[in-house]
């Protein structure tokens, strides 16, 4: 990377691309003109030059690209990719750099700072979605750090339905909202505070969503608009069986905060199955007889979301723990933000959420935000200030706390450690 000959080729290729004089023959010509033993280095130099040129089409910059590169910026804006699709795989702007890096990259693909080349197998394994222009986050939205808000939404276990179903001698559990009016009213208060706190992305927990509550989220987003512009762009309204499937689907739903439209419907892929030890630790002996499995119609594919200078995936609870299933695809796509609704014991710095999130974060450079409810905290008799959310970046983490189910935690994600910008329970008298 530091050899003068490699640097010279990269510099010349970048200059020609920005000037609009670069053709395929010139790239190949620079490589072929090198002595045979130097051609691998010449190819690497040419690729580094193309990578540097495509930095001008990366939406993170937030500036108009030079005219010769405008077509690539426009293609990404329209399709969510820089390449034409003629070759298997995909070429994407880079928004995250793998964490805990040394002075040199661990892999060749990480030697390119502006683009990510996604191999064909990783591309084919995922669904790809480019958000509508109005729902994407701009460079202005990210100035000073991306603000992500969470809420526990539910604390009282009686606001949920706890069911046991048996098929062919195997016991399954189902947990879903009872759609009580107190739950529904809370949504309006949460949306209002997210807007007041300049949150760009809001996240609610797992198993706190139903068809009726989804409509309430949409109504709250529509009703809370005063006509003045605000930062709220995307709302992950938790997860649940919004399809009324049997066996249930546990799907996280990402909503366009402006239109109320469903943008992404990410199904949970791996059930969380209670062992006898789990049931005891969670305080659920009176509700479930172990062993008992989550009743789940599993999802099969991960959605990769191009959101304007950031690339998002959603993992639902146990999916975060299945590193073997998702880490390779998330790294290959250069995902920058992972949103995770969970249903779990109170969130703490050194519990499973941080342990698993940190592995993803270190491997990919992504920031991970986990949102939990207060339900199991209530079952266990916890009260007062309780951990309900965590944000993880490479080597760093911040835990957010709540007392009431409509409390809001706001994280700021930037190039450094994530920080808690707001948690009502931490304020004097809160």
Domain boundary among 91, 124, 157: 124
Domain boundary among 97, 124, 151: 124
Same domain, 97 and 185: no
Count how many domains the chain has: 2
Same domain, 72 and 155: no
Looking up tokens 């591309």 gives: 123
Quote the pLDDT of residue 323: 86
The CATH code of the domain that includes 326 is: 3.60.110.10
How far from 147 is each of 19, 140, 355, CA to CA, in Å? Answer: 37, 12, 23
Residue at 130 is within a domain: no
Same domain, 96 and 163: no
Quote the pLDDT of residue 430: 41
DSSP-derived secondary structure for 278-296: HHHHTT-TTT-PSSBEE--
For 218, half-sphere exposure in the C-beta direction (CA atoms, 13 angstrom radius) is 14
Strands 337-341 and 367-371: parallel
Q: Which of 148, 319, 173, 302 has the alpha carbon at shortest distance from 235?
A: 148
**pTM score, two decimals?**
0.95
Q: Is 122 helix (H, G, I), strand (E, B) or coil?
A: helix
Residue at 57 is within a domain: yes
Residue at 202 is within a domain: yes
First vs last Cα of the chain: how many Å apart?
Answer: 53
Phi-psi region of 227 (alpha: psi -120 to 50; beta: other; left: phi over 0): left
Same domain, 66 and 150: no
Same domain, 113 and 196: no
Residue-number span of the structural domain to which 79 is assigned: 4-124
Residue at 234 is within a domain: yes
Helix (H) or strand (E) holding 41: helix 39-54
* 10-residue mean pLDDT series, the chain (430 residues): 90 94 86 88 94 93 89 94 96 87 80 94 96 87 88 98 96 98 97 96 98 97 73 97 96 96 97 96 96 96 95 97 90 95 94 90 91 97 93 92 97 89 64
Same domain, 120 and 150: no
């Amino acid at each position: 990377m530091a050899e003068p000959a490699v640097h010279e080729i990269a510099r010349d290729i970048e200059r020609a691309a920005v000037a609009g004089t670069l053709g395929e023959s010139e790239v190949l010509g620079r490589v072929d003109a090198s002595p045979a033993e130097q051609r691998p280095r010449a190819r690497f130099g040419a690729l580094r030059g193309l990578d540097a040129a495509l930095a001008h089409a990366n939406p993170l910059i937030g500036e108009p690209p030079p005219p010769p590169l405008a077509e690539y910026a426009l293609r990404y804006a329209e399709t969510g990719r820089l390449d034409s699709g003629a070759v298997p795989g995909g070429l994407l702007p880079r928004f995250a750099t793998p964490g805990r890096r040394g002075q040199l990259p661990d892999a060749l693909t990480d030697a390119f700072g502006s683009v990510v080349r996604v191999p064909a197998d990783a591309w084919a394994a995922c669904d790809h979605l480019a958000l509508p222009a109005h729902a994407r986050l701009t460079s202005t939205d990210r100035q000073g750090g991306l603000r992500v808000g969470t809420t526990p939404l539910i604390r009282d276990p009686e606001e949920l339905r706890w069911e046991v179903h048996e098929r062919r001698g195997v016991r399954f559990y189902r947990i879903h909202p009872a759609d009580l009016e107190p739950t529904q009213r809370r949504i309006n208060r949460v949306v209002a505070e997210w807007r007041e706190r300049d949150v760009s992305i809001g996240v609610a927990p797992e198993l706190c969503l139903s068809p009726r509550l989804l409509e309430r989220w949409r109504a709250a987003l529509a009703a809370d608009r005063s006509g003045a512009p605000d930062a709220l762009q995307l709302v992950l309204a938790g997860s649940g069986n919004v399809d009324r499937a049997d066996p249930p689907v546990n799907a996280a739903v990402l909503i366009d905060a402006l239109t109320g439209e469903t943008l992404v419907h990410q199904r949970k892929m791996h059930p969380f199955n209670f062992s006898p030890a789990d049931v005891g630790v969670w305080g659920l002996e009176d509700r479930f007889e172990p062993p008992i499995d989550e009743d789940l119609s599993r999802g099969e594919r991960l959605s990769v979301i191009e959101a304007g200078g950031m690339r998002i995936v959603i993992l639902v609870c146990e999916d975060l723990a299945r590193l073997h299933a998702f880490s390779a695809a998330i790294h290959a796509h250069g995902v920058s933000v992972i949103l995770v609704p969970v249903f779990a014991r109170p969130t703490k710095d050194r519990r499973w959420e941080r342990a698993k999130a940190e592995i993803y974060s270190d491997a990919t450079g992504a920031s991970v935000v986990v949102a939990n409810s207060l339900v199991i905290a209530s079952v266990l008799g916890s009260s007062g200030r309780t951990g309900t959310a965590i944000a993880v970046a490479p080597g760093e983490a911040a835990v957010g706390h709540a007392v009431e189910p409509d409390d809001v935690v706001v994280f700021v994600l930037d190039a450094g450690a994530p920080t808690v910008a707001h948690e009502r329970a931490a304020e004097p008298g809160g």
